[in-house]
Structure 1
Amino acid sequence: MIEQVHIYHTNDIHSHFENWPKISSFLQKGKSLHQNFFLFDIGDHVDRWHPYTEGTFGKGNVQLLNELDYTAVTIGNNEGITLAYDELNTLYQDASFDVLVANLFEKSGNRPKWAMPSKIYYTKNGIKIGVLAVTAYFGKLYEILGWHLTAPIPELEAELQSLKQEADIIILLSHLGIHDDEKIASLHPEIDIILGGHTHHVLPEGKYISDTLLAAAGKHGYYVGTVTLDIDIESKKVLRKKALLYETKFLPSLEEEELIVTSFQEKGKRLLNSFLVDVPKTLQTEWFKPSPLPQMLCEAINEWCRSDCALINAGLLLGNLEKGPITRFDIHSILPHPINPCLIELSGAELKEVILQTLNPKWPPLELKGLGFRGKVLGNFIYHNILLDHQTVYINGFKMEEQKIYKLGTVDMYTFGHFFPELLDAKKKYFMPEFIRDVMMWKLQKMYSEK
C-alpha cells in the first residue's frame, strides 16, 4: 500500500505582499485537496523594507503564516539580524506553527524557548517525517545582537545522529543557499529532501544529488513549491519524489487581490504615522549630482559613528523630505533598507584607495540588488570630511598620512566584499540594531527640535 504526502513550501518572500493573495489562495486549495499536507517556510518571510512589517516588527508576517496554518518555519538572516534581540525573542510569541532552527542559541548556551532544532511529524498512516532546520552563518552579527549562532553544518550533523534513528523520512529546511545545500546532499544521503532558500535559486522541478531531492522557490513569492512523495507503508521507504514549482503570475487572480495588497501598505502607514519633527524647507535628493539630503545622512553617519570622515552612496535616499511635519512613515519611505551604520579602521593608504575607487564611473548607474539595499541605483558617492584635490586626499582639513589609522563611518553593505576589497578584513564595528533610517531620524530631531 502506498501513502502519498504533499509538501508545500515558500522561501524568501521578503514581505513582498503583492503576491501573497494568490499564494494564500493556492495554499488553501492545496490543503483542502490533500490528506497528508505539510507546509513550510524557509526563512526571510520578514523584511523591514515594507511598512507593514516595519510597523509590526514582523508580527504581521507571523499572523499571515498563522492564517495559512503553516506546519513549521525556520528563520532567515532577515528575521535573525534585522530585529533587535527583544523583537526576535517575541516575534513568534503568537505563532500557531513550530519554529525550527538547530544552530541558534542564547548567549547562555540554551536554546530560545520559541525554537527547537527538529521535530517529527506523522502522516495519516503513522509514517514519521523528521524535519530539522539551519540558518545562514552570520555569527558575528548575531553576537552583537545578543545571540549565539553556531556553524550550521556541524549542528545539522549532530542533530541528524538522533533524528535518523527515529524518523522514516528526513527533510531539511535550509536557509543556507544552493552551494551549501549541494554540499550537504553529497555528505548526507540520508536526508531525503532539502527545501532551500537564501540564495533565491529557482529549481523548477527540483534537483537530485544522489538520492537527495533539492527544492527551492526563488524569491518574493514569484513561485510556490510543492514536493510529492509516494511512500510504501510497510517498508516505510520513499518510492517516488517529485518537485514542482508554480509560477505565481499564472495562478488564478482574486477579485479583491488589489484591495488586499493595498491594505498592507495602508496598515503600515497608519502604524508608522507618528510625528517626528517639522522641517522648515524641502530637503531634496539627487542621485547623480550634489543635494542636501544625502549630504545630511552622510554627516549624520559620521556623527553617529564618531568617525574621522564618512562616505555613502546617494542612491540610499529614495526621495525628498517635503517641507512641514515629518513622520516615521516618511523616513521609512525614503530609507527602507535594513542597512546598519558601520565604523571601519583603515590606514591612510587603504582609505585613499577606497576613495579613489568610489570615483569609478561604473558605480553611479549600477542597479544594485541585495546586501540589504532596497533602492534602484547606487548613485554618486557622497563624502563628509573628505576632500580630494587631484591625487591628494585631505581628511577633516589635513593632508592624509599614509601610515596613520583613520576611522571611516559608512554603511555595512560595503563591507561584505562586493565593493572595496580593503574593507573585507579591516577592523570594523557594526552599529546594531540601528538602521541608517534611525540615524536620519536622530539627525533631523537634533537639527530641528532644538531650534
Structure 2
Amino acid sequence: MPRFGRVIIAALALFAQVLLAELVEVHVLQTSDIHAAISREKEHGGSWLQLAHLTQEFLDRYGRENSLLIDCGDTLQGTMLGALSRGAVGIIPLHTLKYDAWIPGNHDFDFGFTRFLELAAPLREIILCGNLQPLQEPPFASWRCFNRNNANIAVIGMTASYLKHWLGETFGDSCRVSSALDSIAAIMPEVLRQKPDCIILAIHQGWQEQADARQVNEVSAIVEKFPEIDLVLGGHTHRPFPGHKIGSRTWYLQPGFGGRSLAVARISIDTSKHKVLEISSYLSSIQEDTPVHQPLQQHLQEWLEQEQQAKTTAIAPAPGQDILSKGRPGVNCAASELFCAALAEAAETTLALHGTLSSANLKAGQPVTEHDLFNFVPYENTIVTATVTAEQLAEIVLEQWGQRDSYTFCGIWGAEVSIAADGKSAQAIFPDDLPRHRLALNSFTAAGSGRYPKLTAILKLPQVQTTDTGISTRNAVRSYLQKHPGVSITPKQWLKTAKKH
C-alpha cells in the first residue's frame, strides 16, 4: 500500500477513535472549614449566607445533573451562633443547598459524639466518613458512586485521624477512629472493581509542603500510595489552594476557611476509557456586595434573631479593669489568670493550668455579652481534674515550658514552680504540706494534642484519678464573672525561671 494511503487510514482510525470517545465535563463545588460562619462578622470575613448564593449560581450555571457539591468538615462549630445552637445552624445550609456529600471534621464533634449523632441523623445519606465508625450505631459510608453527566464519579470520604489527641481518650469510648491511609487501603479494591471514570478523595486533612512528623495530615502519603486518585478536596489546615498537582498525577484543591471562598473544579473525562483527561480549578470568593441566599436566610431567621440578642444583652457585670489576652500565661497574663481562677472555682481545685484561647479581651466598664464571652472562650472545652504530686506537677509544667511559644502553652496557677536555668528541670512548691493536690485543666490540654506525652502519661496513671467533670470552660468563666462583679485580675508570677550565671 502506498505511503499516502497508510497515512489516510491512520488519520481515519484516529478520527474514528475521537468519534467513539465519550467526552464529558463534570464540575465539583467544594466548601470546607466554614466553622458556622453564617453571616459576615467583620470586614473581609466570610458568610455562608453569601457563599450559598454564590454556590447556587454555579449550580444553576452547570446544572445539578452535571455537578457535585461537597463539604469537607468543621462545619458546625466556630462562631457564637454555632455555640448557641450546639451545631444546629451548620446543618441547615447542608439541607437547604442539598449537598451531595458531607465529610465531618474534628470540630464537628466538639459538642460531644452523642450530639453529633443527633445532628447527623437526617444527613446519614450524604455523610462519608470511612475512618470513623460509631460503636453503637450503624456505620457511616466510606465512599459512594455518583453519576453526573453520564460519568461515574467515586467519592471517598475521610475525616481527621488525630481525633483522640484533640478530644481525649474517652472520645474512643463511642467510636473507632483509624488512619485515613489504612481505611482507604481497605476499600480501594472495592472502588476499583466498580471501574469509576474518576476517583475523588474528600478529606478533612490538608496537603503540606513538608513531611508531617505527627501524621496529622496524611494527604501526601495517601496520593503516593494511591496515584489512581484523580482529585483531592482538602481541608482542616485553613489554607487556600486554587489547585495544583501533587504526587505523580493527582490534583489538589482547598477553599480556605470561614466561608470566604468556594472551590470550583472542572473535570474532563473520557467515559469510554474510564479516564480523566484534565482537571482545572480556581477559588471563587464572595464580595462585599454578594447577595445573601434568601431561602437559607429564611430557614435561619430564628437563630439570626437570637444572635442579635446575644450581641447586645449583658450576661455578666463589667470587670473592674481590662482583662487582656497578652503576656505569658502563669507569669504576667490576666486572661490566663482569669481562666485558672474560674476553672479552680468551678471544679473546686487548688491548682489550675491554662493559657489563652484567643486574642480577645474583656474591657473595663463594659458589661460582658454572650458575644464577648464567646470571643474570649471560642472552644467547647470542658474541665478535667487530676490529683497530682509536686513532682508530677513540676514535670507537667516543665513540658509546657518547652512549648512556651506555641498557642497550646498553658501557665500554672495556685503553686509556684521554678524552672532551672538550663530548662531541663523544675521544682513545684505546693501551698501546704499535702502530698497531692487537685489540678484543673481544659479537655483539649488534657488530650495532649500529640505535643505533651509526659502530661498524657501522667493523666493515665490510676492514682491521678483523671476525671472529665463535664463542666464547660465557657460556663465556668461566665459563672466566675457573675459571682465576682467588677472583678480585677492582677496576674501573679507563679512560674519563675532561674537566671543563667
Q: How does the TM-score come out when normalised to structure 2?
A: 0.70
For residues 153-232 of structure 1, the aligned pairs below 5 Å read 153-168=181-196, 169-178=198-207, 179-232=217-270
2:381 counterpart of 1:336: no
Task: For residue 431 of structure 1, give the secondary structure of its aligned residue in structure 2.
Answer: strand
2:165 counterpart of 1:123: no
Tell me which residue corresponds to 2:494.
Answer: none
Tell me which of 372, 394, 403 is aligned to 2:429. 394
Distance 1:270 1:99, change over 3 A: farther
CA distance in 2, matches of 1:131, 1:432: 40
Amino acid at match of 1:411: N
For residues 77-88 of structure 1, the aligned pairs below 5 Å read 77-80=106-109, 82-88=110-116
Do the aligned partners of 2:310 and 2:369 also contact (CA within 8 Å) in 1? no
Give the superposition deviation at 1:292: 8.0
2:162 counterpart of 1:134: no
Do the aligned partners of 2:53 and 2:292 also contact (CA within 8 Å) in 1? no
Amino acid at match of 1:408: L
2:455 counterpart of 1:423: yes
Higher mean C-alpha displacement, 295-304 vs 418-427: 418-427
2:175 counterpart of 1:148: yes
Tell me which residue corresponds to 1:105.
Answer: 133
Give the superposition deviation at 1:3: 0.7
CA distance in 1, matches of 2:449, 2:106: 18
Amino acid at match of 1:65: L
CA distance in 1, matches of 2:279, 2:363: 54
CA distance in 1, matches of 2:445, 2:169: 20
Higher mean C-alpha displacement, 70-79 vs 293-302: 293-302
Tell me which residue corresponds to 1:267.
Answer: 306
Distance 1:228 1:389, change over 3 A: closer
Tell me which of 292, 309, 331 is aligned to 2:351. 309
Tell me which residue corresponds to 2:289.
Answer: 253
2:98 counterpart of 1:62: no
Task: For residue 173 of structure 1, give the secondary structure of its aligned residue in structure 2.
Answer: strand
Larger Rg: 2
Do the aligned partners of 1:143 and 1:149 also contact (CA within 8 Å) in 2? no
CA distance in 1, matches of 2:451, 2:144: 41
Give the superposition deviation at 1:11: 1.2
Q: Give the length in aligned residue pairs.
A: 419
Amino acid at match of 2:58: G
Q: How does the TM-score come out when normalised to structure 1?
A: 0.77
Give the superposition deviation at 1:100: 1.0
CA distance in 2, matches of 1:13, 1:324: 30
Tell me which of 272, 288, 294 is aligned to 1:234. 272
Do the aligned partners of 1:206 and 1:216 also contact (CA within 8 Å) in 2? no
CA distance in 2, matches of 1:280, 1:267: 22
Give the superposition deviation at 1:96: 9.1
Task: For residue 201 of structure 2, give the secondary structure of its aligned residue in structure 1.
Answer: strand
CA distance in 1, matches of 2:433, 2:343: 20
Gaps in structure 2 of 5+ consecutive residues? 1-21, 41-45, 208-216, 421-426, 461-465, 486-501
Do the aligned partners of 1:313 and 1:382 also contact (CA within 8 Å) in 2? yes
Q: Identity of counterpart residues, as a percentage?
A: 19
1:139-178 CA-partner distances (Å, limit 9, x unpaired): 4737624421321322222222212211412211111332
Give the superposition deviation at 1:419: 7.1
CA distance in 2, matches of 1:297, 1:135: 31
CA distance in 2, matches of 1:107, 1:272: 39
Tell me which residue corresponds to 1:243.
Answer: 281
2:441 counterpart of 1:410: yes
Amino acid at match of 2:238: H
CA RMSD of aligned residues (A): 4.0
For residues 37-56 of structure 1, the aligned pairs below 5 Å read 37-47=67-77, 49-56=78-85
